[in-house]
Amino acid sequence: MNDLCIRMDGVSKRYPHFFLDGISLELSEGSVLGFIGANGAGKSTTIRILMGLVRQDSGSVEVLGHPMPAEQTTAKLDIGFVSEDMRLYGAATLAWHMNFVASMYPRWDKAYAETLLRRFDLKAEQKIKGLSHGQRVKAALLLALARQPRLLILDEPTTGLDPVARREVLGELMSVLRDEGRTIFFSSHNTLEVEQISDRIAFIDRGRLIALDEKEDLLDRWRRVRLMVPTGSVLPQIPGVIEVAGTERLPVLTTSQFNPGVVSLCEDRGATVQGVDAMTLEEIFVANVQSRRELQPA
Amino acid sequence: MHTGPSKIVLSQTGGPLYQQIVNQMKQRIAVGEWVAGEEIPSIRQLAADLSVSVITVKRAYLEMEHAGLIVTQHGKGSFVAAHVVPGPKIFEQEMAGHLEEAARLGATMGMSEREMVSRLRKALDETDDARVIPKPSKESV
């Protein structure tokens, strides 16, 4: 159960205007990794390398035990890949695509495909060119899911979907995980849904992995501490502070290493803790990115 | 295997997801909808039902286990603990814990007894809106 499904070690790739800088990450079987980054941060490049579509300049990549890109053909039998710009044949129907995919993948589950058609409210006889963006995404996802791949790699699967379609898609993704041998790697800039369904979270910015953590740990450790400091006394030093906002007497500290001891530490130094606020994943991501960019301007 | 829907309803504005799951499971046990020894959904099943991560549900289950309300038998599933008695008692232990913690914090902050009582009163006022319609009591007559 705890076999590694994805292992990237020091993976780099240089383009004229972009450098993917030594990405190392691991994902064990049965879990969901949410991969968050701004536009152009390197999400899609990382995913293309994972899929063997782009060859890394250096570093090693193993997916389901297969070195990539060398064994990509074998690996892909067990990977379902859906990307935002997935192209299906416009002139063909969804049913044609289903037959086509079924003919190549022996694990294709016909009954499940039919169920997905109904759940996603799609019509098999409809031509792809007549589908809306949301329907295309759902069609691509159906084609990937019904193959029952051990690993799903999804590049922004819910971008551009309406709230109802997004819920259907997320619900379907999570039901896949009833089977603990299956794993999901997905990128998104919708932090709310990443927060909802991920076990692990990775932040990428400017080609670098800036955080890789269990979601619950990440959410537990980041806090905004609102203090009242008496005139004349200094701001208490607390661990992991990455941002100080507010005023001199009423500072607000953002820390990435909060623990309950921080409260007594502040009070020992004469400051009053007025509040400790939890942060959403979005706030954590933005604070993390901004603090790194300040330390290391482009 | 327990396959029925969990009927747990999560809200995006209702605080940490694992906490919401814990609270609703406790309530379910408190009102006797889940009885002692009853099998409850597996962690993966509930995660799938609620579209939340496995790790979130795992955390909720761990907390319920620590509170002695459920037991998880490896390979068999999770069950409401055999000795659980429905009723508001389930929340009592938690309440006692919070009160002790508040008293301890108050002491470290050097608060007087009066101050602490007034803080509790203030907290009551602040949560007033959020509470369900109170049962009629002597005071309200």
Q: Which of A192, A215, A267 sits opposite B53 (nearest CB)?
A: A215
Are β-strands A151-155 and A4-15 bridged in parallel, bridged antiparallel, or unpaired?
unpaired
Q: Which of A175, A192, A214 sits opposite B55 (nearest CB)?
A: A214
Query: Is the pLDDT reported for residue B48 higher than 70?
Result: yes
What ipTM did this prediction achieve? 0.71
Of all residues in chain B, the one with the smallest CA distance to A266 is: B109
Same-domain status, A57 and A76: yes
Q: Does B9 touch chain A (CB under 8 A)?
A: no
Specify if A170 maps to a domain. yes
Q: To probe the interface with A, which of B54, B59, B62, B105 has the most A CB atoms within 10 Å? A: B54
Same-domain status, A101 and A231: no
Strand order in the sheet with A4-15: A18-28, A4-15, A58-63, A66-68
Residue A240 belongs to domain with CATH number: 3.30.70
Residue that finishes a domain, picked among A213, A244, A261: A213
Same-domain status, A73 and A204: yes
Structure tokens belonging to residue A189: 């800039």
Specify if A289 maps to a domain. no
Q: Does B17 sit within 8 Å of A196, measured CB to CB?
A: yes
Residue A166 belongs to domain with CATH number: 3.40.50.300
By residue range, what is the domain housing residue A231?
Answer: 223-278
CB pairs under 8 A between A and B: 49
Q: Domain coordinates of chain B in residue numbers?
A: 17-80, 89-131
Same-domain status, A196 and A236: no
How far is Cα A114 from Cα A124, in angstroms, rounded to an integer? Answer: 9
Q: Does A267 sit within 8 Å of B108, measured CB to CB?
A: yes
The dihedral over CA atoms of A12, A14, A20, A25, expressed in degrees to the nearest 10, equals -20
Structure tokens belonging to residue B102: 């508040």
Task: Report yes or no: A284 and A235 within 8 Å, Cβ to Cβ.
Answer: no
Specify if A207 maps to a domain. yes
Mean per-residue pLDDT over chain A, rounded: 91
- b/e for A199-212, b at 16 or more Cβ within 10 A? bbbbbbbbbbbbbb
Same-domain status, A264 and A200: no
Residue that finishes a domain, picked among A193, A213, A233: A213
Same-domain status, A192 and A250: no
Q: For A114-128, how does the pLDDT look when each residue is reduced to its tens digit (9 = 90+)?
A: 999 999 999 999 999
Contacts of B44 in chain A (CB under 8 A): 177-178, 180
Q: DSSP letters along A68-87, please?
A: ETTTHHHHHTTEEEEETT--
CATH number 1.10.10.10 given to B17-80 = yes
Could you tell me the CA-to-CA distances from A29 to A6, A187, A255 in Å, in that order? 8, 17, 31
- Amino acid A5: pLDDT: 94
Same-domain status, A137 and A261: no
Q: Does A32 touch chain B (CB under 8 A)?
A: yes
| Structural domains in chain A (count) | 2
Q: Does A264 touch chain B (CB under 8 A)?
A: yes
Task: Report yes or no: A136 and A82 within 8 Å, Cβ to Cβ.
Answer: no
Task: Report yes or no: A254 and A222 within 8 Å, Cβ to Cβ.
Answer: yes
Could you tell me the CA-to-CA distances from A233 to A216, A263, B5, B88 in Å, in that order? 35, 17, 56, 47
Same-domain status, A236 and A201: no
Nearest Cα residue to A241 out of A229, A254, A260: A254
Same-domain status, A20 and A103: yes
Same-domain status, A204 and A155: yes
Specify if A262 maps to a domain. yes
Same-domain status, A68 and A170: yes
Specify if A292 maps to a domain. no
pTM for this entry: 0.81
Q: Does B54 sit within 8 Å of A32, measured CB to CB?
A: yes
- Amino acid A68: pLDDT: 95
How far is Cα A180 from Cα A163, in angstroms, rounded to an integer? Answer: 27
Q: What's the pLDDT band for B131 if we cut at 50, 70, 90?
A: low
How would you write the pLDDT of chain A (298 residues) with one tens digit per residue? 458 999 999 999 999 999 999 999 999 999 999 999 988 899 999 999 999 999 999 999 999 999 999 999 999 999 999 987 778 999 999 999 999 999 999 899 999 999 999 999 999 999 999 999 889 999 999 999 999 999 999 998 888 888 898 888 999 988 888 888 899 999 988 888 899 899 999 999 999 999 999 999 999 999 999 888 888 778 888 889 998 888 888 889 999 999 888 888 888 888 888 888 889 999 999 999 998 888 877 6
Q: Is A291 exposed, middle or buried (0-12, 13-18, 19+ CB in 10 A)?
A: middle
